[in-house]
Copies of this chain bind each other. A is one copy, B any other.
C-alpha cells in the first residue's frame, strides 16, 4: 500500500435497507464526534470502511494497549430489525488541507451512493459566545423540503446562520451532496465554546433520536466527554511544553538539519 494517495479500505459489505448516513468528525466543541462515537458504542455496528489519506496529519495515535493506529476516518454499518438502518462516519481527524476536505467528502458520498443512502445527517457545533446558555440545535439543509420536517423535531433555523458558513466535511457533504442530488441536513448544537461540550452533544442526540424514533441512553455521553477532555487537555499541555522548548513541532524543525 503506497500512501501517496488516499486509500479506501473496504472491510466488509452489509445489506442495509434504505439507510441514512450520520457524519460526526472532529470540530467545534467536538459535538459531532461525541454524538457519532456514542452511536457507534451504543448500537450494534460493523466497521465496513477505513479511509487513510496523505491529507490527514502524518501521525499515529497510541491506544490503551500500547499499540498505535494511523489516523483515519471510518464508516460503520448499523443493521436493525425494526429501526432505521444507518451508516456512521467517525474519525480521528479532518483533513489538514483544503483539497483533502473535498476529496474525503467525495469519497464519503461515493459510499453513501453505493448504499443508496436516502438522507445524510452531518453533526457539528456552533459557537454562540454566550456562557451557561441553554443548548439548542441549529439546522441547515440542502433541500428546502427538509426544513419543516426538521422544525417538527425542535431544530431551529435562522437566516444566513452560521454567518461564516459551515466549514469542513459537515458543510461539504451538504454542498457536494446537493450537486449529486443527495438530501442532507446539518445539525449544529450551540456551544459556548468548551473544548468538549457534552451538553451540546446531548441536545443534538435528542433531536436525532426524535427524528429516527430511537431510544439512546445519553448517560455514557457525559463520561465519554470527560475522557475526551482529559486527553485533549493532556495534548494541549504537551504542545505547550514543546513550544517552550522551541523544538517540538515539525514546523520548527524544517530548516534545522
Contact = CB atoms under 8 A, between A and B. Distances in A.
A154 interface: no
Interface string A167-201: 11101101110111000001000001111000000
A167 B71 CA distance: 10
Contact of A239 (B166, B174, B245, B255): B255
Nearest to A228: B257
Contacts of A166: 59-60, 62, 68
A110 B63 CA distance: 26
Interface string A143-166: 110010000000001111111111
Contacts of A178: 67-70
Contact of A163 (B55, B158, B238): B238
B141 A250 contact: no
A175 to B, nearest CB: 3
A94 interface: yes
A9 B63 CA distance: 36
Contacts of A106: 1-4
A50 B186 CA distance: 23
A193 B241 CA distance: 8
A139 B235 CA distance: 18
Contact of A71 (B9, B165, B193, B235): B165
Most buried by B among A106, A141, A238: A238
Contacts of A61: 165, 257
A3 B180 CA distance: 11
Nearest to A181: B1
A40 to B, nearest CB: 15
11 contacts: A2-B103, A3-B103, A57-B98, A58-B105, A59-B175, A60-B166, A63-B160, A71-B175, A127-B245, A165-B257, A232-B256
Interface of A: 1-4, 9, 26-29, 52, 54-71, 92-99, 101-103, 105-106, 110, 127-129, 139-144, 147, 157-169, 171-172, 174-176, 178-180, 186, 192-195, 231-232, 234-239, 241-242, 244-248, 250, 253-257
Given A67-B140, A68-B142, 11 more contacts: A27-B250, A58-B167, A68-B175, A71-B165, A93-B257, A127-B242, A129-B241, A163-B231, A164-B235, A164-B239, A195-B246
